[in-house]
Amino acid sequence: MMETALLRYCVSFSGHPHHKKVAAHHRIDGEIPRPKSIPGGREDEWCARVLSRRSILATASGFSLVSSTALGFPGEGFAVVKQGLLAGRVPGLSEPDDEGWRTYRRPDEKSGGHGVGWSPIIPYSFSVPQDWNEVPVSIADLGGTEIDLRFANPKEGRLSVIVAPVLRFADNLGEDAKIENIGPPEKVINAFGPEVIGENVEGKVLSSNVAEHDGRLYYQFELEPPHVLITATAAGNRLYLFSVTGNGLQWKRYYKDLKRIATSFRVV
């Protein structure tokens, strides 16, 4: 607690060069008070050491911890994950349309990749009802580090986007892979379905379809069990697996919306 308070003071001090000139009884609303005692009496040098130490700790842990209070946001601190901030904190999600649906487009500046030599991820988009939101991605999730994005609504279902290097599955697809070059729908779902559901898909594929949008093919599948809709395509040197799923009750109540989400996926 003490270290957090000191960090907050230093952020306030470093961001306001005239801070020391403001009288205590004229303090601006929300301004962070100065700690009673500063080691050595030199605020600038001491704060530099505190901020430097926090930066080193944050880098070593793999993500940057920022106090939401220090940045002007109420509530608890939040973690800025390397794969991108949550929806609403970075560009990507549109305002609702007349039907109450929003379109997500992967921001061009969002980080992500699979090592040196890989081209930037070609952006993708999809539509969701307005009460669906982005949720954190964990490397412990099924799909691991290749999960680029997750969205969910606790009442309706959830979705994920897996972006995998095509070289994991074939070495002769070049730098502009197409899903049809990887194989027909049956081969693709048998090879990549386990990436989504964590088990063999044999006997679970209820239907498959091929759709074309702007010259790109999309393989669309429905599996059960578990209830899941998968859209697969390829672009650049990556394979995209877009999956939408829900439990039995969600599937029964919101199947129409889940289907609409699944078929809205596009690489742009």
Radius of gyration of the chain (CA): 24
Which of these ranges, 102-106, 109-113, 154-158, 252-256, has the smallest mean pLDDT?
109-113
Where along the chain do its domains lie? 2-79, 83-267
State the Cα–Cα distance between residues 255 and 260, nearest whole angstrom. 8
Helix and strand element counts for the chain (H, E): 5, 12
Q: Distance (Å, rounded) from C-alpha 129 to C-alpha 210?
A: 24
- pLDDT for 42-99, tens place per residue? 555 544 444 443 333 333 333 333 333 332 333 333 333 333 444 344 469 999 999 9
- Residue 169's pLDDT is 76
Q: Within a 10 A sphere around the Cβ of 34, how many other Cβ atoms? A: 16
- Is 83-267 assigned to CATH 3.20.20.140? no
Long-range interactions of 85-90: CB distance < 8 A, separation 24+: 86/133, 86/134, 86/135, 86/136, 87/133, 87/134, 87/151, 88/133, 88/134
Q: Of the given ranges (5-14, 31-40, 66-75), which has the lowest mean pLDDT? A: 66-75
Measured distance CA(107)–CA(121) in Å, rounded: 10
Query: Per the structure block, which two tokens stand in for 11?
Result: 């952020």
